[in-house]
Amino acid sequence: MSIPPVPPPPGQISCLQLDQQLRRGGTGSVLERHGMKFGEFSVWLFAISDRLVIDNTGITGRYDFHLEFTPDDTTPGALRRLQIDRERNGGQPDAAPDPAGPPLVTAIQQQLGLKLEPVKAPREFLVIDQVERPSGN
């Protein structure tokens, strides 16, 4: 059973829309987006890497992004996108990504001049202590 996506709040972009901006390219995957804010870019990075990315650049405005990278184990969202595309094409395998292509973190630094740095920070969690079946009312 598939759960329909919840629409994003006004003025925001859902991770699904960001995921759809990923396409096959010369080295494996390409993000091509015009007029994207850095905050939106960090949400996109979260969608493909499954790691929280915080925009600490302080850069405002909208920018055009073109990023080519080779999906790998650090980008499970990108690998899922390629699998979805493969299923839509009747199971036909895509050409294998170029193993010599740069991984995401390297591509970001080389092509965009940005550096991702791992940090430890507090984060909110939802903890479920108990689960019960609903009553028959």
Let me know if residue 126 belongs to a domain. no
pLDDT tens, 42-51? 988 888 888 8
**What burial class does residue 76 get, using C-beta atoms within 10 Å of its C-beta: 0-12 exposed, 13-18 middle, 19+ buried?**
middle
**Whole domain around residue 47: which residue ranges?**
15-112
Let me know if residue 92 belongs to a domain. yes
Let me know if residue 76 belongs to a domain. yes
Looking at residue 30, the DSSP 8-state letter turns out to be E
Q: What is the mean pLDDT of residues 65-83?
A: 83
Let me know if residue 28 belongs to a domain. yes
Let me know if residue 52 belongs to a domain. yes
Alpha helix stretches (DSSP H) within 30-96? 38-49, 76-88
pLDDT tens, 30-66? 888 889 999 999 988 888 888 888 888 999 999 998 8
